[in-house]
Amino acid sequence: MSFISDMERDRIYEEIEGKSFSKSRGGFFSKLLSIALLLSVGFASGSIYSTFTQVKVAEGSNSLEVNSSNVVDNTLSNSANDKNSLYSQTSLANVVDKTATSVVEITQYTTTQTYFNSSYTSEGNGSGVIISEDGYILTNNHVISGAEKISVRLRNGEEYEATLVGKDSKTDIAIIKIEATDLTPATMADSSNTLVGDFVLAIGNPLGRLGGTVTYGFVSALEREINLDSSTKNLMQFDAAVNPGNSGGGLFNVYGELIGVVSAKSTGYDVEGLGFAIPINDVKQVINDILERGYATNRPYLGVSLDNSSYSTGSPFGGGSIFDLFYSQVQYGARVSSVEKDSPADEAGIEVNDIIVSIGGAVVSSASDATSEIQNYNVGDEVEIGIIRNNRTYTKKAILAEYTGQ
């Protein structure tokens, strides 16, 4: 390859022959130096290229040749392997794979009579957690309360009709059963090991039509005293997003273990990130009781059905008349709508249409108040029941029996 032109070469020859040698001596050497530099750069470039394309690593008597393309490929391959290893150890997707098939969608149907002798069927939605391979499912009592029919949908889309095994209003727990086999039960954790700040996953059926939804967050607090249905419960607080329909679903830790049953969400215009779950340790014994006996043990029982009562203020008719509709209504007490034969209430002389206004001296303003007050006692306790009958007050004494689910 020529680095100078023919004209420039002839001029250099002329200078060498002496025509302008003295004047051009410095230029001649400069050009030789330039040529040398160009050749040096060429050789250096080749050396650099060789360095990047072929590297020798000597160790003892062995040597390893590595191509530059292989270096990149190996780096990417090692990076992918590292990511796969990390994924297998910590990815929440693995936790979901382990737990999501244990969570089901629940729909309960209730028939309501209207004033015109017609009826309509309404439905409610919730979630549940499979606790055995042969179809036992854990959920909230309030999810299935009053249901005439219960339907369960598995994650794979299969649907079953469920039967009620037992329930416990005190802990808000119920167990239902479907005729299925080879199901994936959840693994129950020791929830006493749960700490504030632990990462958790909530899986359920929000809005009753988004089954299998997974949300994540942290445990915000433990043993929160929350009043639900006029009953105080110690619940686990978390900030994973939950909505109506999540009730009865599972709250899982990062090991895929069930640490709680989603029970409630605090709602309001300016409320966000306040979910609550029943710690699984609080209901393990109740679950065993229901599976063995069909009911929770040591639950006090009065033996009445109740609804809310009201009277009209200022009414000259003393209440109970159609004319009372023209006066303001005030809710008070719990009206006895039925009394079970040979129950504690029956033996105490409580009758249908009696208004229970106090239990053990505590004022009762609604049916839920009465139910909650009874749960504060133990089986065998004698309790004074204050009632109103035909505008007169009475006190009845009842010895509470154990509820057996009948």
Nearest to 183 by CA among 215, 211, 207, 152: 152
Distance CA 345, CA 277 (A): 34
DSSP code, position 189:
P
| Paired tokens of 259 | 């640490």
Catalytic-role residue among 247, 309, 312, 372: 247
Active-site residue, 119 included: no
Nearest to 296 by CA among 310, 286, 306: 286
Active-site residue, 368 included: no
Catalytic-role residue among 142, 289, 324, 372: 142
- Spatial neighbors of 55 by CB under 8 A, at least 6 apart, are 65, 66, 71
Distance CA 212, CA 205 (A): 6
- Spatial neighbors of 243 by CB under 8 A, at least 6 apart, are 206, 207, 265
Active-site residue, 91 included: no
How many other C-beta atoms are found inside a 10 Å radius of the C-beta of residue 262?
30
| Percent of the chain as helix, strand, coil, to the nearest 5 | 30, 40, 30
Catalytic-role residue among 102, 169, 172, 312: 172
How many other C-beta atoms are found inside a 10 Å radius of the C-beta of residue 214?
17
| Paired tokens of 218 | 């942290």
Q: Which residues are catalytic?
A: 142, 172, 247
